[in-house]
């Protein structure tokens, strides 16, 4: 059974969590997505800088952080598309909204609602990933009109669906102790990179 089909069945059978549990799990989901987005963009940072072709345009921390936030918002939108085709159950809507709020606490700019509204115009993951890759590339390399790095980013975003689904499954079904250990492990890993 495909990861998405399995996840849909489990989510459908999951009783609506209480607000505190849902919020805590949503915070984990947003945080874990943030770690994944940082790793993804860090792997492309050199490609983005090389595509600037000596213009002196380096990837500033603010631009990088904003691009990470853009990807978190994209992933939250894609999660709602994956599970419900745009019409999620009410508790899942609250979970996604809680994750959006958590992402704003992690990084306030751009506001999560603004990011989400941008991607809501795309009815499928492929178009949303293409738009995200173009926006992020334009943000990180404003002097360039196109690059193989942007195309590679789009491909990677499109292929990242199973990873996102497994992360959601972890957020929804693992005990809080496991979620906390996962975040602590990722934080420790980041300090040693």
Q: Render each residue's pLDDT in the chain as its tens digit; 193 residues.
A: 454 455 555 555 556 667 688 889 999 999 999 988 888 888 776 555 554 444 444 447 788 888 899 999 999 888 888 776 656 566 777 888 889 899 998 888 889 888 888 888 887 888 888 888 888 888 877 766 666 777 778 887 877 788 888 899 899 889 999 999 999 998 888 654 5
Assess contact for 75 and 29: CB atoms under 8 A: no
Cα–Cα distance for residue pair 155/151, rounded to 1 Å = 6
Cα–Cα distance for residue pair 92/29, rounded to 1 Å = 13
Assess contact for 133 and 153: CB atoms under 8 A: yes
Cα–Cα distance for residue pair 1/179, rounded to 1 Å = 25
Cα–Cα distance for residue pair 46/48, rounded to 1 Å = 5
Among left, alpha and beta (phi > 0; psi -120 to 50; other), residue 174 is beta
Task: Give the other-Cβ count within 10 Å of 156's Cβ.
Answer: 14
Tell me the pTM.
0.80
Assess contact for 39 and 69: CB atoms under 8 A: no
Question: CB within 8 A of 157, min separation 6: which ones?
Answer: 40, 71, 74, 129, 132, 133
């Amino acid at each position: 059974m495909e990861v998405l089909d399995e996840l849909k069945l489990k989510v459908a059978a999951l009783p609506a969590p209480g607000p505190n549990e849902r919020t805590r799990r949503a915070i984990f989901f947003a945080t874990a997505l943030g770690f994944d987005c940082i790793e993804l963009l860090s792997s492309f940072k050199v490609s983005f800088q090389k595509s600037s072709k000596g213009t002196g345009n380096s990837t500033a921390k603010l631009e990088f952080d904003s691009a990470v936030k853009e990807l978190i918002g994209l992933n939250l939108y894609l999660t709602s598309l994956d599970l419900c085709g745009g019409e999620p159950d009410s508790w899942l809507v609250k979970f996604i909204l809680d994750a959006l709020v958590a992402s704003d606490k992690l990084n306030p700019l751009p506001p999560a609602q603004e990011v989400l509204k941008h991607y809501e115009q795309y009815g499928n993951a492929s178009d949303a990933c293409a738009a995200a890759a173009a926006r992020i590339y334009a943000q990180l390399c404003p002097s360039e009109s196109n690059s193989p790095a942007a195309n590679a980013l789009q491909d990677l975003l499109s292929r990242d669906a199973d990873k996102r689904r497994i992360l959601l499954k972890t957020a929804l079904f693992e005990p809080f102790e496991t979620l906390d250990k996962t975040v602590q492990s990722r934080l420790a890993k980041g300090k040693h990179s």
